[in-house]
Amino acid sequence: MKQVQVELENRRYSIEINPKLFEESEALSRFLLNKRVLIVTNDTVAPLYLNSLQQLITGASEVRSVILPDGEQYKTLAYLDNIYTALLEHNFSRDSVLIALGGGVIGDMTGFAAASYQRGIDFIQVPTTLLSQVDSSVGGKTAVNHVLGKNMIGAFYQPKYVMIDTDCLTTLPAREFAAGMAEVIKYGIMWDSEFFSWLESNVQKIKQLDAATLSDMIGRCCEIKAQVVAEDETEQGVRALLNLGHTYGHAIEAEMGYGVWLHGEAVASGMMLAAQTSVQLGLMTESQLAQIKALLLQFDLPTHIPDGMHFEHFIKHMRRDKKVLAGKIRLVLPEGIGRAGIYANITDEQLKQVIN
């Protein structure tokens, strides 16, 4: 069992990482004793894990579920309303608990529902995809998308507990696993060069889903995320570094239509654009850019932009990015491998050269 603590200013919570947690976790029920519980999941995950999770919950006064359609295109206010309706139809009160069982979309929507239902109820993350296990389930970012921008409607709202069963990754489609690796690689680029080197050395074990290797990898990602969130919970400074590749990547998702490219695929392309921007500004070398590209390609991630997308398509979405201040686009750019910074002095002409 690996355990990572997220230490915030006036509260803390645990992330537990282990195979077989759906069979033997004792921690989950401690949060649910005498509580009314609503599990939120989707129609892909429910047949795989909903019954196991329900059997794992003991001591709750009531357990219900709501099943949403699977896909980024359903991460909207319209589908969020399904959660509110289930809560209201069954008279759930402020001492109820939501459980997010699924990937990043389910986690984000459930967290936002918890943050806003009766002005805040508890929720627990049970992430089932690699991307959600290493990134979106930790740190309390919750949101839904708008047709004009990704994650523009949301709140910072921390879970009470995160339960990561690494065995879930054995049922994850290869494309989804690869998309999750984009966020894993991100941590190495923006924070930990030794971790980046470790990833380079363990590509085959990771792709073979070696249990110990996956546990170590996910644990390190959660440690980095927990450290950053503890320093800057509401993204006033250092937490913005976790958005490496996301300004470009969110533009790809919004322009292509949510779900056409998976989030991790768009982030991989975005990290390449960010790295190329860094090379252009003299922040990193061509050889470091080549290292990043090689590792992304090892996991079958895109290192190009979508066909038909040009500067004009990117810039209209990038101007709506949440990091824009005083009308200036701010980009997270790698400064070599293992560190990154936030830059606001990049001209449209420089962006055009990189994109085109």
**Amino acid 38: pLDDT:** 98
Mean per-residue pLDDT for 40-50? Answer: 98
Task: Report pLDDT for 345.
Answer: 84
**Distance between CA 244 and CA 341 in Å, rounded?**
9
Mean pLDDT of all residues in 214-219? 97
- Dump the DSSP string for 186-230: HHHHHT-HHHHHHHHHTHHHHHTT-HHHHHHHHHHHHHHHHHHHH
Domains of the chain by residue range? 2-171, 174-355
Q: What is the pLDDT of residue 326?
A: 67
Render pLDDT for 168-210 as a digit per residue (tens, 0 to 9).
999 999 999 999 999 999 999 999 999 999 999 999 999 999 9
For 91, phi then psi, to 5°, come to 55, 45
The whole model's pTM is what?
0.93
Mean pLDDT, to the nearest integer, of 96-123? 98
Instruction: Select the CATH number that applies to the domain covering 2-171 from these four: 2.102.10.10, 3.40.50.1970, 3.40.50.150, 1.10.3470.10.
Output: 3.40.50.1970
Question: Is 8 in a helix, a strand, or coil?
Answer: coil
Q: Give CA–CA dist 120/238, Å, rounded.
A: 26
Please provide the DSSP assignment of 109-170 as one string: HHHHHHHHGGG--EEEEEE-SHHIIIIITSS-EEEEEETTEEEEEEEE---SEEEEEGGGGG
Return the number of other C-beta atoms located less than 10 Å from residue 180's C-beta. 29
Which fold is adopted by the domain 174-355? Dehydroquinate synthase-like, alpha domain (1.20.1090)
End-to-end distance of the chain based on CA atoms, in angstroms? Answer: 47
Contacts of 321 (CB under 8 A, 6+ apart): 149, 247, 250, 329, 330
Kind of pairing between the strands at 141-146 and 122-127: unpaired
Residue with token string 């649910």: 32
Please give the distance of CA 135 from its chain centroid, rounded to a whole number. 4
The mean predicted confidence, pLDDT, of the chain is 95
Buried b vs exposed e over 251-268: b needs ≥16 C-beta within 10 Å?
A: bbbbbbebeebbbbbbbb
Nearest partner of 22 among 106, 128, 118, judged by Cα: 128
pLDDT digits 0-9 by tens, 305-356: 999 999 999 999 999 887 777 678 899 999 999 999 999 989 999 999 999 8
Query: For the segment 131-175, what is each residue's pLDDT rounded down to a tens digit?
Result: 999 999 999 999 999 988 889 999 999 999 999 999 999 999 999
Domain 174-355 in the same topology as domain 2-171: no
* Rounded Cα distance, 16 and 3, in Å: 5
Whether 228 and 239 have beta carbons less than 8 Å apart is answered as yes
Residues serving a catalytic function are 119, 141, 183, 225, 235, 239, 243, 246, 250, 263
